[in-house]
A = this chain, B = another copy of it.
Amino acid sequence: MTTSESVLPSRREQNKLATRRAIADAALSVLRSKGIGNFTVEDISEEAGVSRRTFFNYFPSLEASLASVTEGFLDNALEQFRLRPANEPILESARAALMALADPMTVAPMAELFSLTQDNRTLARSELEAWDHCTNQIIDAARHRLGPDADELYLRALAGSIVSCGKAAMTIWFEDRGSDLSAESLASLRQHLINAIGLLGSGFNPSA
């Protein structure tokens, strides 16, 4: 209550984060061993060494525990976006932020999730939610940068398009390369991301 008010993550906060991470890791682990759709929240809880009820104290659903992988992945890029200088052209900031998606450490769990889930419907929902959440974060960040009287339509259309470009690049990359994380493969992901933003910046003019 005195000095460590809200800035420092208290010991308890750290523990909670650890539990959360343990559950998320367990979820991925169980997904690996049993395959998509062949396990329950109980399986994950057991693997994580907590009760079923505790699982639901941390995640609202089974899919959410897996989507936390995607969230972490996107949060990283979001952080980069926020760190860009405010006077930089937005698409340039976006390009720089998207580069973070090609970081080996960050993309690895994401690629594994991709490969383990492929075309699963239920999971796809939480996945979409994560991308949508990211879009909203970009909108907020961009609004903050451009001031309160920025055009809302501009903000929303732009943020949505940026995210779509990121998603498109990730999809293409994964279809081409599977979960190949070699330097060369990551370079191609980076190129896809650059190309996508390039298309966006040129208004998808076919001649470009």
Contacts and interface: CB of A to CB of B under 8 A. Distances in A.
Among A128, A157, A159, chain B packs the most CB atoms within 10 A around the CB of: A157
Interface stretch (A43-51, A69-77, A164-172): A164-172
A160 B153 contact: no
Contact of A128 (B128, B175, B206): B128
A168 B192 contact: no
B204 A90 contact: yes
A147 interface: no
A168 B126 CA distance: 21
A164 B160 contact: yes
Interface stretch (A4-12, A13-21, A193-201): A193-201
Counting chain A residues whose Cβ lies within 8 A of the other chain, the interface size class is: 35 or more
Given A201-B203, A204-B161, A204-B201, A168 B196 contact: no
A140 interface: no
A3 B15 CA distance: 69
Given A204-B90, A204-B200, A168 B156 contact: yes
A132 interface: yes
Contacts of A203: 91, 200-203
A125 interface: yes
12 contacts: A89-B206, A90-B206, A91-B204, A125-B126, A125-B129, A156-B164, A157-B164, A157-B165, A157-B200, A157-B204, A202-B203, A203-B203
